[in-house]
Amino acid sequence: MTIHEGQTAQPPLRIEKLQGERAFRLVGEMDLSNSSWVKAVFDAEVRKRGDLMLDLGQLNFIDCTGRRVLAKLASALGPRGRLIVRNPTAVVERLLDLTDIDSVENLIIERTSHIEERLTESTSSMEGADAAEAKLWGLLALIQSMMPSADDASFTFTQAGELVTPVATSLDVEECDQVQYRIGEGPCVQAAKNGRTVNLSFAQDQRLLHPFVLTARARGFVGVLSTPIMGADRQPLGGLNLYSRSGDGFPRLDESQAEILATRAAWILQTTGSSTPEFA
């Protein structure tokens, strides 16, 4: 039975009541757009005595704000009980592991096997590259709403041996990506081919005549953050490229957020059967 649904959440999140006095299932995605709403939903529950169980077997994604909410709920329970997080998918488990959430007092993570396979079977009726491209477009929109420093963004993937930009938020970004592909170097290339994160501020870069820097500056960008999208074998599938038009580019704190979003992109490729993406 669905008891709560985030009407303004993008992507949507649903909270369902399970059998048991204090057992709930989170369905969808938990991020900056709905984390405060989740905390408000459970504020009354954490004042009661006894354990609170959240099943994450159908939660596809959680960002840093969502992880902080889980930690706050566990802390709010205090001596009255524990927050038991059950059945996290492999993707969500990796995102939880990016922090020391396992050390949060009163928070217990109960892991089970084969959850991700069951999730994959029930996710989307779309298949292949069309599904991947549609979901990547949605992720770009989420990135721009979550990260004020990211004025524009794109993805880099390898197709038929060549680097391509299947989705981008502007023509300016596409042109910056293409310059790097032509010369065979730059942040996008490093992320997609070598699995390296590159956070470059043009204000601090001394290579003022570098073709990529000249192109990016001419289009009003002051910095770029390229993060590798890693496959299950820890080999790069591509790269997430964020471009900034303000300040000195991207602060270091944005690198961890970009890593989470790149993990989300890897999940999209995996669940749409596009581990080696072929975009039209």
Whether 143 and 212 share a structural domain: yes
Q: Is residue 279 part of a domain?
A: no
Q: Is residue 117 part of a domain?
A: yes
Where is the domain boundary, 94, 122, 150?
122
C-alpha torsion angle, residues 126, 129, 134, 135 (rounded to 10): 80
pLDDT for 152 equals 92
Whether 29 and 95 share a structural domain: yes
Q: Is residue 79 part of a domain?
A: yes
Whether 107 and 178 share a structural domain: no
Mean pLDDT across the stretch 76-96? 85
Q: Is residue 95 part of a domain?
A: yes
Query: Percent of the chain having pLDDT more than 70?
Result: 81
Q: Is residue 280 part of a domain?
A: no
Whether 141 and 118 share a structural domain: no
100-121 pLDDT per residue, tens: 676 788 888 887 544 344 434 4
Burial 168-198 (b: 16+ CB within 10 A, else e): bbeebbeebbbbbbeeeebbbbbbbbebebb
Q: How far is CA 230 from the centre of its chain?
A: 12
pLDDT for 114 equals 40
What confidence tier does 178 reach under pLDDT thresholds 50, 70, 90?
very high
Whether 67 and 108 share a structural domain: yes
Where is the domain boundary, 63, 95, 122?
122
What confidence tier does 83 reach under pLDDT thresholds 50, 70, 90?
very high
pLDDT for 9 equals 38
Q: Is residue 77 part of a domain?
A: yes
222-275 pLDDT per residue, tens: 999 999 999 878 889 999 999 999 888 898 888 988 998 898 888 888 777 655
Who wins on pLDDT, 155 or 264? 155
Please give the Cα distance from 275 to 273 (Å, whole number).
6
- Please report, for the domain that includes residue 87, its CATH number: 3.30.750.24
How far does the chain reach from its first CA to its final CA, in angstroms? 40
In this prediction the pTM is: 0.57
Mean pLDDT across the stretch 201-218? 78
Highest-confidence range of 3-17, 160-174, 206-220, by mean pLDDT?
Answer: 160-174
The lowest-confidence range among 84-98, 127-141, 244-258, 259-273 is 127-141
Q: How many domains does the chain have?
A: 2
Whether 91 and 29 share a structural domain: yes
Please give the Cα distance from 272 to 280 (Å, whole number).
15
The parent domain of residue 178 ranges over 128-271
Whether 13 and 94 share a structural domain: yes
Whether 109 and 139 share a structural domain: no
Q: Is residue 276 part of a domain?
A: no
Whether 134 and 262 share a structural domain: yes
112 half-sphere exposure, CB direction, 13 A CA radius: 13
Who wins on pLDDT, 210 or 275? 210
Whether 204 and 164 share a structural domain: yes
pLDDT for 115 equals 37
157-173 pLDDT per residue, tens: 988 889 999 999 898 99
Whether 207 and 258 share a structural domain: yes
How does strand 52-62 pair with strand 83-86?
parallel
Provide the strand spans (E) within 81-230. 83-86, 107-110, 152-159, 162-164, 198-201, 223-230
pLDDT at residue 155 above 90?
yes
Q: Is residue 30 part of a domain?
A: yes
- Please report, for the domain that includes residue 164, its CATH number: 3.30.450.40
Where is the domain boundary, 70, 100, 122?
122
pLDDT at residue 213 above 60?
yes
pLDDT for 53 equals 93
Mean pLDDT across the stretch 179-204? 92
pLDDT for 98 equals 66
Whether 139 and 267 share a structural domain: yes
Please give the Cα distance from 14 to 38 (Å, whole number).
10
Mean pLDDT for the chain? 82
pLDDT for 208 equals 59
